[in-house]
Amino acid sequence: MTTIKDNFTTVVIALIPVAMVVNIAAGQAADFLGLPVYLDSIGTILVALLCGPWAGALTGIASTLLWGMFSPYAAQFFPVAAWLGFVVGILARHNGLSTWYRAGVAGLMVGLTIPFLNAPIAAYVYGNVNATGFALVLELLGTSLAGMASMPFLENLMVEAADKALSATIAFIAVQRMSTRYLARFTQEDNLVK
């Protein structure tokens, strides 16, 4: 059983800012390209996989607060990022992300829980107005955005499930590309199948 302090070795503290940059860069790229997913949690998931739930939660919080300095509403979603990092860290500790398939399924399952936190924040911040690439999904499905504007929960359910499944799979693949020697520096490396 690891303690909170065990989640924060020197290597972990050095990894967190890198993961924050990954979150922001991937999120900005997805937004710029108009993708129907966020991809702004790959770094958080990566840290949670390698370092545990507390480091994952801190990475999520720090990323959202930093991003909030440049994107006005991002900082208000820090509880969502903390939840994601913490839950993925717990799942990783119990081998819930030990294969690419398990990582995708775990991401999907966590993504299905996020709307319970995300929707009330989005409704408050955006006044139920869509601010994501979800409009593209609705167009592809032939559904009117105006008819869905009062349903941020449904939006978050669809987008978050797909986003977190994809993000967890990408983070898992990144971990698999790391050397065994490098992985040995992290507290959860025993839970990652190489």
Task: Give the per-residue pLDDT at 148.
Answer: 46
Domain count, the chain: 1
Chain segment 61-80, per-residue pLDDT in tens: 999 999 999 887 789 999 99
Q: Between the CA of residue 140 and those of 1, 134, 135, 136, 144, what are the distances in Å?
A: 47, 10, 9, 6, 10
Residue 149 confidence (pLDDT): 45
Sign of CA dihedral 193, 56, 25, 22: negative
Q: Domain containing 150 — which CATH number?
A: 1.10.1760.20
The Cα–Cα gap between 175 and 183 comes to: 8
> pLDDT tens, 19-63?
999 999 999 999 999 999 999 999 999 999 999 999 999 999 999
- In this prediction the pTM is 0.84
SS3 content of the chain, % helix, strand, coil (to 5): 75, 0, 25
- Angle at Cα 48 formed by Cα 108 and Cα 69, nearest 5°? 90
Largest CA distance in the chain: 53
What pLDDT band is residue 191 in, cutting at 50, 70 and 90?
low
Q: Whole domain around residue 171: which residue ranges? A: 5-191
Measured CA to CA, the distance from residue 194 to residue 183 in angstroms comes to 10
**Which 8-state DSSP code applies to residue 73?**
T
End-to-end CA distance of the chain: 22
**DSSP structural state of residue 37:** S
